[in-house]
Each structure stands twice: as structure tokens, then as C-alpha cells.
Amino acid sequence: MRMKFLEKDEEDLIHEQSLKCLNEIGVMVHSESVLKMLAGAGAEVDYKKEIAKLPESLIEESLRKAPKEIRYHARDPKHNLDIPVDNFPFTATNGLAIHIPDLETGELHASTRKDLADFTRLGDALDQVDYLWTSLTATDVPEDAHGAHEIWVTLQNTAKHVEGVSVLSGIDARKQVELASLIVGGKDELRKRPIISVISCPIAPLAFEKGSIEAQVEFAKAGVPIVSMSMSLGGMSSPVTLAGTITNINCENLASLVIDEVAAPGAPHVYTSESTPIDMKTGVINYSAPEIPLIGAAAGQMAKRYGLPCMVAGWGSDGGRKAGIMSSFSELAGGALSVLSGTDLAAGMGSIDVAKGCSYEQLVIDAYLWENVRAFMRDFTISEETIALDIVKEVGHGNSFLTHPHTARNFKKELFFYDKKKLAWEATLSYRMVPKAKEVAMRLLKEHEVEPLDRDIIRQGDELLKEYEKQLAS
């Protein structure tokens, strides 16, 4: 099942409008090197204003070069993820939170490498988590090096795919690539088996910061999939109209795609959006706005039109300062509807405090909720065989199928059975499931082991980081 929002001609209109926007308004790119690169590919560049206007031909060419299928690799190949999906999306944890409540005491503290290691390990233990974002900021390391530390710690504590959330600079990107290459056996191997991907956000509307865009180019050249997240906040960084927001998302994604495909033709690229209208009372991003699934569905439709892998939804029930399901039914339903947008990926599990925090209990709660929500997206065969007219004939008018062997033979395949225990957790506007979630988290953290990296590799990585810190200090 999928949610649809735009009509076909509305999709066309958004595409045309995006081309117009990129051609007439263009994007602002605060990087001379990237502007030069775009100019070389046919963009009209104003170096003084730092604006690149992109012609339709360049966009069409980039769409042609972009791979339609990509694979997120993992240290353990059984956790490889093939994108696009046929049924429900792959899910990941929250990213780059800055604090976390202690699992024993509940006390909130600024996150450290150890917290990141533990939280990642919990994500690795939970079946419902398919890949890991670098979930917490390492505040106990030199600030400039935090991205590199986070990717290193995360890679050690999960055998699943890792998606970094830090794009600080070209140099930093190269460091992250080096670290990941250590694990797979070299840069060429990493290009073939990217065990990391990276989130890179434009500054809406239509602007790219120096550090992030130069990092993005480095990653693209290394074959690391770019997840180019447009955060178009209606009423703030995009027009308050849904049409305006959707168009901005589309423009930023197309522009970002062009940058990747010019830097490295064939670079894996994920069309991405985490866009909401702002809360009109506080000006803050509003993760429970009813418009979110509509924007997500529209973004998903545009991505599908282009044949691009996409991430246009999040998953998680972040309700406030502590773990629990503080959303009301319709707020959580909005989240469920968002993942029905045709998205291939959805991240956000375990987040609290509007993504500023992570919580072990919340990760378990979000994982268990997910198990039931994703069931709506199983795929079914609609064929002559499953329509089973011959069985209908055998049963006859007004009779029952209950005793026909067809029912007994097929019901397990066809129907979904709720895990009643997990179902009992799904109380909205409630904290009642938190103690049980805590038990599960504690047990998993105690028992679960992640295949460690080779000692040698760990040493090399640690040294790499030390040298990098020295480099940054000078």
C-alpha cells in the first residue's frame, strides 16, 4: 500500500517549476571550487553572488547518470540493503543527538563516545533496525574532529550499514573515507562496497554551505552514497504553501544531484527530504504537523518519477523530553502515513526532545512500533492464482471457505499476526511501556556482542584520528 498525494499533471507542474527555478533563480553555492566545477559542466555561474544557474540539459543529464539501484553495504554482508524497496522501507536510528539520559539513573548528560558505542550496539541488537545513523555527538573529543570520531565509533559497534550525519569539510570527508576504507581493505573496495553513506543538508532555500558541499563532493568521488536531505520548513525556509515547499525540496534535490553527478558520474545519490511546516507559534520544526505525510508522499512521487532511491520519511515517536509515546493517535498516524509514501529509507528511531536527544528505551519502543506499522506495506500477489476463482467455484454461492483446504494452506502466508506482547506497548499519550522498554534495552546491552574489528585495524584507525586531531590543532 502506498499513499498518493499529487495528480500526474501536478507532478509535471512541479518538475517544470523546478527547472524554471533552477534556471532563473539558481542555487547559491559558497564554494569556489564547486562553482568552478559546475561552470565547467555548463552552469551559468556568478562568482560574485556565488550563484549557479542550472540549465535543463544539465539536470536531464544528471538524472540519466544517477544509478536507479544502489546497495548499502555492511560489515556483515547479511545486513546489506538493496534499494529501492518493494515493500516497506529500511529504518535507522536518530542522528547526531547531543544528550542522552543514563539508562540506570535517567540523568541527562552530554553525549560521549561511550554513549554512542552503547546506543549503536543496541541498534545492532534490534532486528527492526536495519542500519545506523551516527546517533550521538561525541562531545568528549575536539569539536572539529567529532564527525570522524563518530563514524569510527559507530563502525566498531555495529556490523550493519552506517550513515554518517556530519559533513564538515572536504578534509574531514577524506578522513571519514580513510577510516571506512581501513575496514573494507582500501578505497577501491569502499567504492565497490560502500559500508558508509552520508547525510548532507543544503541550507534551504536553495543554498549550499562551503564545508558541507565540499565534503559531499569528496564523498561522491569516493563512491559513498549521498543522502541529500532537503529540510524545507514551510513558512521559514520555503513558502508556507505545500506547493512551494514541495518545489523547494525538488529543486534542492535536483541541484544536489547535479553536483554529485558532475563530480563523479554514476555517483549513488538518494533523493531526500525531512520537511515540515514550522510550528506557527514557536517557529520550531513541527514533527507532528498533519501536512508531513502529504509533503512526504509528494516528494516520494517526484523521486519515483525520476527513478531515484529516496528517503522522504522518518520513523520514530519522539514526543518530548523523555521516552514514551507522547503523540496522540493522529500525530503518530501521521508518522505511519509518512512511511507509506514510497520511501526506501526512514530514520529517526530512538530520538527524544525533538531529535536533540537519544534514548535507549525510546529505541526499543520505536522498533517494536515499527514491526506492526511496516506490516501495512507487505507486498501481495494479485494474480489469477491468488484470486482463486476455481476455489470460489468449489465452495459455491453462500457457503464457507473456512473448511476448504485452500484457507488452511494459505492463511499464514497471506495474513499478518500481531505479536500481542508488542501490541500492548502501543499506547499513545502514555509512558506505560517505558519500564518494559528499559528491561529490554538493559538485557540486550548486557548480552549482545558485535563482531569486533581486527585489532590492527582499530589501532590504525585510532592513530589516524590522533594525527587528524593534531593536524586540526595546528
What H or E segment, with its residue span, contains residue 331? Answer: helix 329-339
**Number of Cβ within a 10 Å radius of residue 384:** 8
* Cα diameter, the chain: 84
**Minimum distance, C-beta of residue 44 to another protein, in the bound complex (Å):** 15
The count of chain residues that interact with another protein, using the rule CB under 8 A, is 104
Q: Is 226 in the site for another protein (CB under 8 A)?
A: no
Rank residues 205 and 268 by Cβ distance to another protein and give the closer one: 205
CA atoms of 148 and 224, how far apart (whole Å): 15
**Minimum distance, C-beta of residue 436 to another protein, in the bound complex (Å):** 13
Contacting another protein (CB under 8 A), which of 206, 231, 262, 465?
Answer: 206
**375-414 positions binding another protein, by CB under 8 A:** 375-376, 378, 380-384, 386-389, 391-393, 395-402, 406-407, 410-411, 414
Here the cell at position 112 is 560521549
Rank residues 398 and 435 by Cβ distance to another protein and give the closer one: 398
**Minimum distance, C-beta of residue 442 to another protein, in the bound complex (Å):** 24
**Minimum distance, C-beta of residue 137 to another protein, in the bound complex (Å):** 24
Contacts with 443 (C-beta within 8 Å, 6 or more apart), sequence order? none
**Minimum distance, C-beta of residue 150 to another protein, in the bound complex (Å):** 26
**Minimum distance, C-beta of residue 212 to another protein, in the bound complex (Å):** 13
**Number of Cβ within a 10 Å radius of residue 279:** 16
What H or E segment, with its residue span, contains residue 313? Answer: strand 313-314
Q: Is 46 in the site for another protein (CB under 8 A)?
A: no
> Applying CB under 8 A, which part among 24-32, 145-153, 305-313, 353-361 lies near another protein?
24-32
Contacting another protein (CB under 8 A), which of 46, 424, 451, 467?
Answer: 424
Contacts with 390 (C-beta within 8 Å, 6 or more apart), sequence order? none
Q: Are 344 and 311 in contact (CB under 8 A)?
A: yes
Rank residues 276 and 351 by Cβ distance to another protein and give the closer one: 276
Rank residues 139 and 372 by Cβ distance to another protein and give the closer one: 372
CA atoms of 132 and 271, how far apart (whole Å): 18
What are the backbone dihedrals phi and psi of residue 312, each rounded to the nearest 5 degrees, phi first?
-125, 20
Contacting another protein (CB under 8 A), which of 298, 323, 367, 441?
Answer: 298
Rank residues 61 and 291 by Cβ distance to another protein and give the closer one: 291
Q: Is 1 in the site for another protein (CB under 8 A)?
A: yes
Rank residues 248 and 256 by Cβ distance to another protein and give the closer one: 248
User: Residue 14 region, left (φ>0) first, then alpha (ψ -120 to 50), else beta?
Assistant: alpha
Q: Which residue has the cell 468449489?
A: 394
**331-360 positions binding another protein, by CB under 8 A:** 331-334, 336-337, 340
Cβ-in-10-Å burial (0-12, 13-18, 19+) of 15 comes to middle
Q: Is 110 in the site for another protein (CB under 8 A)?
A: no
